[in-house]
Amino acid sequence: MAKVIPFRAVRPTRDKVSLVAARSYQSYTMAQRESRLRDNPFSFLHIVNPGYRFDKEVSGKARYGLVKNRYLEFKEDGIFMQDEIPSYYVYRIVNRDGDMFNGIVAAVSAKDYENDVVKKHENTIEFKEVIFKNYLKTVGFNAEPVLLTHPDNDVIKQIVAKVQQERAEFEFTTTYRDTHYLWLVNDANMVKTIQQEYENMPTIYIADGHHRSASSYLLYKDLKQGNPNHSGNEKYNFFMSYLIPESDLKIYEFNRLIKDLNGLSKEAFLIKLDALYRIENRGKTPYKPSKPHHFSMYLDGQFYSLYLRQSQYQFESSLEALDAQLLYKTILKPILGIHDLRNDDRISYSHGKNDIVEMVNKVDGGAYKVGFGMIPATVEQMKHIADDGLKMPPKSTYVLPKLRSGVTIYEF
């Protein structure tokens, strides 16, 4: 039974939401960040980059305190307001490719994360969890929902469709050409029905935001332990999430880029690959695989197709059949010597939504020696791996939608 409840969001006023909303800080280039900070005083980037006011980079605990100060200033200046009534927030995104995503922003139980009702499919890095937990503990709010997914639900779908017949509270288009809509749901009957439908779900899955959810769980444990009057209803018992049906989820692959051939010549490398793969040189014609266990490779200005010799490799679990894991077990680790996918600086990732152009440019530019592409993982693969208690390699999925920070904020 998933506990998914309404909450009183802090959010921008209608006239300023398009100015406040921001992508994740890391997704901007330095020049883009500078431009937005210089030209838009309402951008949420001013909150997460508080040192801009002092023309100074600020990090660590000092930054956390300044983030909280900037946030409080936005509230004091009337840029943010808080809803009086706990609500669910129906949220729609229509991206520039025409994809449409419909879901509900709500507060999800951290205890459900602990009890595996909220299931994970990707490993996290412990020190990153702790850093973000300490950040949350200082600033006291979360401004970017975790993306969760669940089986399609007709009742919730009907309520969402009914709500969307009314005028949206927010409707804005970003410079990235995505259009965002938000509606409040605080009708008592609707709220009760939505909550019951989520309670009937035995499992929901993290689609994107494993570190954010893990950090929220660590925060819950810390604050629970430090509260002798803990009741289970405190705000820190929950974390903000965007819940969408599985049919709305869109998954892309991540390409792998490797800086060297681990001391091997091109010819020696290809000979080692031949033991497990049927290799075909495709020349300069761009090649993308279309089937599971097939890979594209870009090396020395040429594309290759790699077809797994299945007689030489056995799939012993749902994880072993995942292409990102297969590439790691058969090529990256034994041939190229990449053992630690998270911390080895010889490997980098480029999500497949950028197609293969970025991979080609980086290899041709000399920053990397070889690149690998694969088909995206499926929702069913993601769920099976989570249900089996296994974890995907890092950067196995690039998931859409991507929400903007600062549109709904959860205080605890």
User: Of the candidates 48, 157, 126, 190, which has an alpha carbon nearest to the alpha carbon of residue 342?
Assistant: 126
Tell me whether residue 382 is in a domain.
Answer: no
Residue 189 domain-assigned (yes or no):
yes
Statement to judge: residues 288 and 215 lie in one domain = no
Domain limits for position 11: 4-250+400-411
- On whether both 278 and 159 belong to a single domain, the answer is no
388 falls within a domain: no
* Residue 404, pLDDT score: 94
The answer on 155 and 17 residing in a single domain is yes
Q: What is the pLDDT of residue 313?
A: 82
The verdict on 245 and 258 lying in the same domain is: no
Which residues are within 8 A (CB) of 308 and not within 5 positions of it... i.e. 6 or more apart? 276, 277, 293, 294, 326, 330
For tokens 């200082």, name the residue. Answer: 138
Tokens 């609707």 identify what position?
Answer: 190
Residues 137 and 83 in one domain: yes
Rounded Cα–Cα distance for residues 289 and 25 (Å): 32
| Residue-by-residue pLDDT tens, the chain, 412 positions | 999 999 999 999 999 999 999 998 888 888 999 999 999 999 999 999 999 988 888 888 899 999 999 999 999 999 999 999 999 999 999 999 899 999 999 999 999 999 999 999 988 878 889 999 999 999 999 999 999 999 999 999 999 999 999 999 999 999 889 999 999 999 999 999 999 999 999 999 999 999 999 999 999 999 999 999 999 999 999 999 999 999 999 999 999 999 999 999 999 999 999 999 999 999 999 999 999 999 999 999 999 999 999 887 889 999 999 999 999 999 999 999 999 987 899 999 988 776 788 899 999 999 999 999 999 999 999 999 999 999 999 889 999 999 999 999 999 9
Residue 349: predicted pLDDT = 92
**In the prediction, which pLDDT does 406 show?**
97
pTM of the predicted structure, to 2 decimals: 0.91
Rounded-to-integer distance, Cα 213 and Cα 388, Å: 20
Pair 27, 398: CB distance under 8 Å: no
Whole-angstrom distance, CA of residue 341 vs CA of residue 348:
9
Q: Note the pLDDT of residue 352.
A: 79
Q: Which residues pair with 94 in a beta bridge?
A: 100, 179
Residue with tokens 């969402």: 160
Same domain (yes/no): 47, 162: yes
Separation between Cα atoms, residue 111 and residue 174, nearest integer Å: 35
Task: Tell me the C-alpha distance between 231 and 220, whole Å.
Answer: 12
For residue 170, the model assigns a pLDDT of 98
Asked if residue 357 is part of any domain, the answer here is: yes
Distance, in Å, from the CA atom of 393 to the CA atom of 122, rounded to the nearest integer, reads: 7
CA distance 216 to 108: 10
Which amino acid belongs to residue 202? P
What is the residue-averaged pLDDT of the chain?
A: 95
Q: State how many domains the chain has.
A: 2
Q: Which of 6, 7, 9, 23 lies closest to 169 in space, CA to CA?
A: 9
Same domain as 302, residue 218: no
Q: Which residues of 359-389 are buried (b: 16+ CB within 10 A; e: fewer)?
A: bbebbeeeebbbbbbbbbbebebbbbbbeee
DSSP one-letter code for 362: H
Does the residue 207 lie in any domain?
A: yes
Q: Among 8, 16, 43, which residue's Cα sits nearest to residue 172?
A: 16
Same domain, yes or no, for 81 and 197? yes
Is residue 395 in some structural domain?
no
Report phi then psi at 307, rounded to 5.
-110, 120
Q: Do 152 and 10 have their domain in common? A: yes
Q: Are 243 and 179 in contact (CB under 8 A)?
A: no
The confidence score (pLDDT) of residue 152 equals 97
pLDDT of residue 320: 95
In a domain, residue 384? The reply is no
Please check whether residues 169 and 311 belong to one and the same domain: no
Same-domain pairing of 31 and 121: yes
Asked whether residue 345 is assigned to any structural domain, the reply reads yes
Q: Are residues 329 and 407 in the same domain?
A: no
